[in-house]
């Protein structure tokens, strides 16, 4: 935890590459290393994209610690923002501190290809080296892609996958499979019944109300909570509130309002971030 304290107090330049590498090695021990996590949490916080915006990750964490609530982050910790290495270190430190109360899911920006295009690789190489970048990329493989909470809520960065009927089958997906990647790339679409190609993303799938309802009914679940898309108001409900999409960074674009969610049984409170 000394490394994160140094970053928060003195900045990323107070930390050597060796120290950051050692921190990554330590953090990896606490990650689940499997695709699917199931928890019996009935009350918890959910955070959407934070994209290198440290304050967007910190505010929900402070509420989580103060109220003694578990917290789940839905991915996209790096790329675009001003504090990418800092933000990644912060969320990993939460996992080390409270391993049974923190879940970090993998987003589509926890991939080498996207990090090359959207800035994180450049950030790491400018401050440190390619060696650290590749070590972080290997860490991504240990992040789960789906959490099922209280046998009610299905949480993922993108959502459901066209190749998965039973959510328990997610555990067996190979990381190179399209069905695995769809979980952090797919988007909901009001104009779609089940699945259609997602041309806006250049690939993967849009999924519609029938696909979501059938998936939830088949698995005895109530709701999908996901991230992956920007909304000026910080959230959007879809499909008669069977799906909630959250974006947690404020002032990301045109003075938007970021949100995170506090879930208590069937009640969801959306909180300004």
In this structure, what are the phi and psi dihedrals at residue 135, rounded to the nearest 5 degrees?
A: -70, -40
In this structure, what are the phi and psi dihedrals at residue 121, rounded to the nearest 5 degrees?
A: -60, -40
pLDDT in tens, 19-55: 999 999 999 999 999 999 999 999 999 999 999 999 9
Q: Which helix (H) or strand (E) holds 259?
A: strand 259-264
Identify whether 109 is a catalytic site residue: yes
pLDDT in tens, 219-256: 999 999 999 999 999 999 999 999 999 999 999 998 99
Q: Count Cβ atoms within 10 A of the Cβ of residue 114 and give its class: 0-12 exposed, 13-18 middle, 19 or more buried.
A: middle
The active-site residue out of 109, 134, 175, 228 is: 109
259-264 vs 195-197, strand pairing mode: unpaired
Q: Is residue 149 within 8 Å of 167, Cβ to Cβ?
A: no
Domains along the chain? 2-272 (3.60.21.10)
In 3D space, the residue among 93, 80, 91, 138 whose CA is nearest the CA of residue 112 turns out to be 138
pLDDT at 211 over 60: yes
pLDDT in tens, 137-151: 999 999 999 999 999
pLDDT band at 8 (very low <50, low <70, confident <90, very high): confident
pLDDT in tens, 52-107: 999 999 999 999 999 999 999 999 999 999 999 999 999 999 999 999 999 999 99
Token readout for 202 is 């250049």
pLDDT band at 1 (very low <50, low <70, confident <90, very high): low
- Please give the full DSSP string across 25-36, using - where no structure is assigned: HHHHTTS--SSE
């Amino acid at each position: 935890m000394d490394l994160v304290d140094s970053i928060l107090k003195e900045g990323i330049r107070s930390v050597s590459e060796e120290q950051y590498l050692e921190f990554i090695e330590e953090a990896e021990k606490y990650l689940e290393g499997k695709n699917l996590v199931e928890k019996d949490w009935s009350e918890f916080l959910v955070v959407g994209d934070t994209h290198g915006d440290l304050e967007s990750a910190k505010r929900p964490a402070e509420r989580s610690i103060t109220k003694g609530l578990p917290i789940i982050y839905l991915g996209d910790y790096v790329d675009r923002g001003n504090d990418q290495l800092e933000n990644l270190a912060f969320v990993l430190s939460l996992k080390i501190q409270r391993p049974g109360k923190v879940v970090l899911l993998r987003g589509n920006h926890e991939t080498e290809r996207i990090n090359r295009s959207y800035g994180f690789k450049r950030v790491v190489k400018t401050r440190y080296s390619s060696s650290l970048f590749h070590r972080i990329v290997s860490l991504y493989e240990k992040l789960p892609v789906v959490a099922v909470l209280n046998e009610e809520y299905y949480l993922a960065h993108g959502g459901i996958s066209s190749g998965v009927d039973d959510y328990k089958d997610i555990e067996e997906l190979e990381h190179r499979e399209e069905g695995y990647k769809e979980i952090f790339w797919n988007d909901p679409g009001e104009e779609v019944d089940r699945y259609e190609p997602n041309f806006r993303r250049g690939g993967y799938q849009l999924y519609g109300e029938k696909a979501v309802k059938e998936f939830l009914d088949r698995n005895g679940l109530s709701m999908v909570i996901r991230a992956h898309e920007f909304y000026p108001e910080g959230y959007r409900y879809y499909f008669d509130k069977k799906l909630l999409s959250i974006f947690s960074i404020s002032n990301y674009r045109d003075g938007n309002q970021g949100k995170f969610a506090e879930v208590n049984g069937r009640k969801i409170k959306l909180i300004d971030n």
